[in-house]
């Protein structure tokens, strides 16, 4: 690096004071250590020399690196989860921390995971965020993460050693179905995913509970399930819409399946939203905003989870032990409804 580093020492001699004084002044130590006069001299000298502290040395000395590690599993790969990184990064910056990212593949085994954590630890990170996209949301903390300030994203620790955040699938589904009912619908189909993951069950629970609260009997024939791509949504929606007693609205497991439902409706000459209202899930802008009509859907609070995780991690790092209590139970984050144009009152 050609521009040779200017250190505290250079500032000191330039200002004609000792390094101690410089250190105190630049770190804004509470007690008015130096006179206004010297403060100015030092600050001016620092600015003139283009001084910036060497955070490595600082960290070595203070035992705080000011860095936090984000171990993300496959997350940098799935587009709509990038917002976790974004939220974490912005929250970290707000706390004066830097984010160090390691992305591992979904099939990472325990050992490679431990290696990744070790790498972060060698860098002396002050805490670690572990974001997963897994089938089972319950995980076990890797052994070398035990005792280290850590927060899980999209997962919960089996042993309750670290707090975690997850999207509140159920309330998200509730928001979606409620919107449909408020528009006047009573025959609402649910195009679910057939896999055994928390989202599947949570969203179904939300769907059922809202129906029940509105006195609408649960009709099993209105619930179908398939894989979660557009084609699967299409295949399973087609027969559902090709019935004399077809639903007037559809709640789809995700935006991709909703995309398939759009196609099924088009083929059957059913217009959206006049003859069929649709709500999706995930708020994948690329799809939701570009479908016609634009899809009303439920957003996953990835950004917010990233922020929450960092804020919580910072409190734990600062020794607020009460936050450890959060480890007992998962924290759920709201999934807000994003209203676009795919809902209308049912046709008479």
Partner DNA sequence: CTGTTAGCGCATTCAG
Partner DNA sequence: CTGAATGCGCTAACAG
Among 48, 57, 86, 339, binds DNA (CB under 7 A): 57
Nearest-approach distance from CB 218 to a copy of itself, in angstroms:
30
Task: Give the shortest CB-7-to-DNA separation in angstroms.
Answer: 3
Q: Which two tokens stand for residue 307?
A: 């922020």
- State how far the alpha carbon of 111 is from the alpha carbons of 108, 114, 333, in Å: 8, 5, 31
The minimum distance between CB 1 and a copy of itself, in angstroms, equals: 6
Binding mask 241-260 for a copy of itself (x = CB under 8 A): ---------------x--xx
239: partner contacted, choices a copy of itself, DNA, none (Cβ within 5-8 A by kind): none
* Interacting partner of 270 out of a copy of itself, DNA, none (Cβ under 5 to 8 A depending on kind): none
Task: Please give the size of the binding site for DNA, defined by CB under 7 A.
Answer: 29
DSSP 68: E
| Residue closer to a copy of itself (CB basis): 339 or 345 | 339
345 touches a copy of itself (CB under 8 A): no
Contacts (CB under 8 A) with a copy of itself, residues 189-228: none
Long-range contacts of 122-125 (CB under 8 A, 24+ apart): 123/65, 123/67, 123/69, 124/59, 124/65, 124/67, 125/65, 125/67, 125/68, 125/69, 125/100
Helix axes 230-241 and 255-267, enclosed angle (nearest 10) = 40
- Report how many helices (DSSP H) and strands (DSSP E) the chain contains, helices first: 12, 14
Residue 308 in 3-state DSSP? helix
Q: Which residues contact 118 (CB under 8 A, 6 or more apart)?
A: 144
Assign 224 to helix, strand or coil.
strand
Residue pair 152/88 in contact (Cβ under 8 Å)? The answer is no
Among 6, 26, 100, 225, binds a copy of itself (CB under 8 A): 100
Q: Decide if residue 182 touches DNA (CB under 7 A).
A: no
With beta carbons less than 8 A apart as the criterion, state whether 253 and 193 touch.
Answer: yes
**Which residue in 95, 137, 263, 324 binds a copy of itself (CB under 8 A)?**
263
In this structure, what token pair is assigned to residue 227?
A: 């894989």
Return the axis-axis angle of helices 19-26 and 8-15, rounded to nearest 10°: 110
Footprint (CB under 8 A) of a copy of itself, residues 264-323: 266, 284, 286-287, 289-292
178 binds, among a copy of itself, DNA, none (CB under 5 to 8 A by kind): none
Contact between residue 160 and residue 150 where contact means Cβ atoms under 8 Å apart: no
Residues at the contact surface with DNA, assessed by CB under 7 A: 5, 7-9, 16-21, 23-24, 26-27, 29, 32-35, 37-38, 53-54, 57-58, 60-63
Residues at the contact surface with a copy of itself, assessed by CB under 8 A: 1-3, 50, 52-57, 59-60, 65, 67, 76-77, 79-80, 82-83, 85-86, 89-90, 93, 98-103, 118-119, 121-124, 126, 144, 146-149, 229-231, 234, 256, 259-260, 263, 266, 284, 286-287, 289-292
């Amino acid at each position: 690096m050609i521009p040779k580093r200017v250190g505290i020492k250079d500032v000191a001699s330039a200002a004609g004071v000792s390094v101690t004084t410089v250190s105190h002044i630049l770190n804004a130590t509470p007690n008015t250590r130096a006179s206004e006069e010297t403060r100015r001299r030092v600050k001016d000298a620092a600015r003139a020399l283009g001084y910036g502290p060497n955070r490595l040395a600082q960290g070595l000395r203070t035992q705080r690196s000011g860095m936090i590690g984000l171990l993300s599993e496959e997350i940098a790969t799935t587009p709509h989860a990038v917002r976790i990184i974004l939220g974490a990064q912005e929250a970290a910056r707000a706390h004066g921390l830097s984010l160090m990212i390691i992305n591992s593949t979904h099939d990472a085994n325990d050992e490679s995971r431990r290696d990744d954590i070790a790498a972060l630890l060698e860098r002396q990170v002050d805490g670690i965020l572990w974001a997963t996209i897994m089938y089972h949301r319950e995980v076990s903390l890797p052994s070398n993460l035990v005792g280290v300030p850590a927060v899980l994203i999209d997962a919960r620790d089996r042993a309750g050693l670290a707090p975690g955040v997850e999207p509140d699938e159920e309330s998200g589904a509730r928001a979606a179905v409620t919107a449909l009912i408020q528009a006047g619908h009573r025959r609402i189909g649910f195009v679910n995913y057939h896999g055994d993951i928390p989202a599947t069950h949570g969203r179904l629970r939300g769907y059922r509970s809202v129906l029940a609260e509105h006195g609408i009997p649960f009709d099993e024939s209105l619930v179908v399930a398939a894989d979660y791509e557009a084609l699967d949504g299409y295949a399973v929606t087609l027969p559902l819409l090709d019935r004399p007693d077809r639903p007037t609205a559809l709640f789809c497991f995700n935006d991709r399946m909703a995309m398939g439902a759009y196609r099924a409706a088009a083929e059957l000459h059913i217009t959206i939203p006049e003859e069929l209202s649709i709500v999706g899930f995930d708020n994948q802008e690329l799809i939701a905003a570009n479908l016609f009509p634009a899809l009303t859907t439920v957003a996953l609070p990835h950004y917010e989870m990233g922020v929450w995780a960092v804020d919580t991690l910072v409190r734990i790092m600062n020794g607020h032990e009460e936050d450890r209590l959060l480890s007992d139970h998962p924290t759920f984050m709201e999934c807000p409804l994003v209203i676009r144009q795919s809902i209308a009152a049912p046709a008479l």
